[in-house]
């Protein structure tokens, strides 16, 4: 097994983050400033997964206890479907449980079957559709939620 390392992202990681961001999401509206703001924020959590010192994926969350919201998550195209996204999600979920987070939310494009499948492996459930959520092409977004007590609200 190849050795990976997960660590908190720092501002000097932003150029590498942007390379992945624009490769995975060509129409992304995220900028260098967007990532720097999240890295600096007291309610922001930004972690990267590194393979041989190379950033290959990242996750950015906003945390307002007892909730967390995944606002950005990507794995470099070259490293997708190899378990690195799962490793990063597992790492961050352990951290969130220590913070007493009870629920995690995210939005994902309805067309992003690969991501939806990954989230379902972690027991995220679709809870609603946001019509025309993605402004670059008016694609709908699926809101997914994970509740650590295993229950969805009625």
Residue 22: which H helix or E strand, with range? helix 14-24
- Annotated active-site residue 107? The verdict is yes
The closest alpha carbon to 11, from 41, 45, 35, belongs to: 35
- Annotated active-site residue 67? The verdict is no
Instruction: Tell me the two tokens of residue 22.
Output: 């624009």
User: Which residue among the candidates 47, 67, 91, 107 is catalytic per the annotation?
Assistant: 107
User: Which residue among the candidates 45, 58, 79, 119 is catalytic per the annotation?
Assistant: 119
- Which residues, 6 or more positions from 82, have their beta carbon under 8 angstroms from its beta carbon? none
Question: 65 in helix, strand or coil?
Answer: coil
Instruction: Tell me the two tokens of residue 90.
Output: 């597992």
Give CA–CA dist 39/55, Å, rounded.
Answer: 15
DSSP strand pairing (4-8 vs 44-51): antiparallel
Q: Which residues are catalytic?
A: 107, 119
């Amino acid at each position: 097994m190849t050795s990976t390392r997960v660590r908190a992202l720092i501002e000097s990681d932003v150029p590498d983050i942007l390379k992945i961001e624009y490769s995975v999401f060509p129409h992304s509206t995220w900028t260098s400033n967007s990532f720097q703001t999240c890295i600096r924020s007291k309610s922001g959590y930004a972690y990267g997964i590194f393979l041989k010192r190379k950033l290959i994926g990242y996750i950015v969350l906003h945390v307002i206890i007892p909730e967390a919201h995944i606002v950005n998550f990507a794995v470099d195209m070259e490293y997708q479907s190899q378990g690195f996204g799962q490793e990063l999600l597992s790492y961050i979920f352990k951290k969130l449980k220590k913070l007493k987070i009870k629920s995690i939310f995210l939005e994902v494009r309805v067309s992003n079957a690969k991501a939806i499948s990954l989230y379902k492996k972690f027991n995220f459930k679709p809870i609603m559709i946001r019509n025309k959520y993605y402004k670059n092409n008016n694609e709908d977004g699926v809101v997914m939620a994970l509740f650590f007590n295993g229950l969805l609200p009625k």
